Structure 1
Amino acid sequence: MSIWLKKSFFVLLSILTFGLVSPTQPFLNEENHAFAKNNGKPSSVEATPEEAREEESVLTHDEFIETMLEQAEKNAYEKFGTKIKPVIEDEFRSLILPNIERAIADTAAQFPEEDLTSLTISEVPQYAKTEKIFHIYDERSGEDVIRFHVRKDHPPKDGYYFNFHYHTVHDKFLAHHELGSIYWNKNTPPQWMSVS
């Protein structure tokens, strides 16, 4: 209800009842509630709920990268499980994570800041044999933007390696973009998500 209409109603009610009846508390509290929502500042124009949500949820590129990187590390450790994680964690942090950060930053640079809020990170798949660590996808369309994977490599007459790489929408996910490899040892590594 507009402010002038509220004031007119208040004045009319006061005149008709000779000031004996005042408006109810909920009527008065609407204005106080709007006043409190604006941190004590009166608002001349009220924002719609969609506008308020957009203003609050716009991420800067740096905030987006930081959020995605935290989730990427969490998803990677979940994928590794408690048998693999302790063995490769240090190398993953020092060699692979900075490359993941670079890939996420390159991807974020291709989007305006207002579109970054629609990009989200997928869950770690429960099926242990897949290469997928996580994907970053657009919630609006449901389509992947970038896919981060790890596979177990076993070159002839050599030990096992974890090969980290990613695929992007720009080449239709065909090319492998290397993030790095971490040596396991000559023994077959445990399944993903194995618990010790």
Structure 2
Amino acid sequence: MKTWIRKSLMVMVSILTFGLITPAQMNFLDQVNADTKSPGRGSAEFGPSIPTQFQQTPSITRDQFIEDMVKLAETRSYEKFGTRIKPVIENEFKEIILPNIEQAISKTAAQFPEEDLTGLAISEQPGAGLSEKIFHIKDVRTGKDVIRFHVRRDNPPQAGYWFNFHYHTAHDSFQEHHELGSIYWDKNTPPKWMA
């Protein structure tokens, strides 16, 4: 497939789905491109091949699922912190918050049979600006969130600014705050997320 057609298709799909499908998720185009070229022929024929993204994925172990999700959680968190907040709170985040995120993910994974864990996915983009969203884990088969990880800016009187990390679960319709911990920022107002 010609590069300009592929790029145009990516942009159109992103626009038509209001950003729900991003170019990073459209790697199946590379697979389609590879499958359509028959060896020894110069022309492309579209066959009944299924892109790898839509093929049945083998199940993974619960431990592997938790390990992968924690790595992605750390990545999404650092994306949210941006270059101005990350250097200040990175060490405390790794020591205090990340182990608690791992425990919450473990509790969530325990609620699903091991073969269903491949149906859980982490959100692509954290919330920017003043948004609380770090990442959500959702069941891709139903499209519903299972657990939501957030960080809120707290400013108690005379105590400076704190980052309050917490999560919400689908069991109580995301109403109750489950604490993960808090990290002190400073007396000065912190920059916006992803700045």
User: TM-score of the superposition, structure 1-length normalised?
Assistant: 0.70
Partner secondary structure for residue 137 of structure 2:
strand
Identical positions, percent? 66
How does 1:134-153 map onto structure 2 within 5 Å?
134-153=135-154
Q: How does 1:36-115 map to 2 (within 5 A)?
A: 57-115=58-116
Q: Distance in 1 between matches of 2:89 and 2:117?
A: 31
Task: Name 1:169's counterpart in structure 2.
Answer: 170
Q: Provide the aligned length of Structure 1 versus Structure 2.
A: 143
Q: Which aligned pairs between 1:13-24 and structure 2 lie closer than 5 A?
A: none
* 1:183 equivalent in alignment to 2:184: yes
Q: Deviations over 1:7-65 (max 9, x none)?
A: xxxxxxxxxxxxxxxxxxxxxxxxxxxxxxxxxxxxxxxxxx9xxx9885201110110
Q: Distance between the aligned counterparts of 1:126 and 1:104, measured in 2?
A: 20
Where 2:163 maps in the other structure, the secondary structure is strand
> In the TM superposition, what is the alpha-carbon distance from 1:125 to its structure 2 partner?
3.7
Post-superposition Cα deviations, 1:128-162, rounded to whole Å, max 9, x if no partner, equal 22100000000011100000000110001111000
Question: Is the 2:134–2:151 Cα contact (8 Å) retained in structure 1?
Answer: yes
The unaligned stretches of length 5 or more in structure 2 are: 1-49
**Partner of 1:72: helix, strand, or coil?**
helix
> What is the RMSD computed on CA atoms of the aligned residues?
1.6
| Cα contact 2:76–2:126 (8 A) shared by 1 | no
Q: Could you tell me how far 1:67 is from its partner in structure 2?
A: 0.5
Residue 69 (structure 1) shift: 0.3
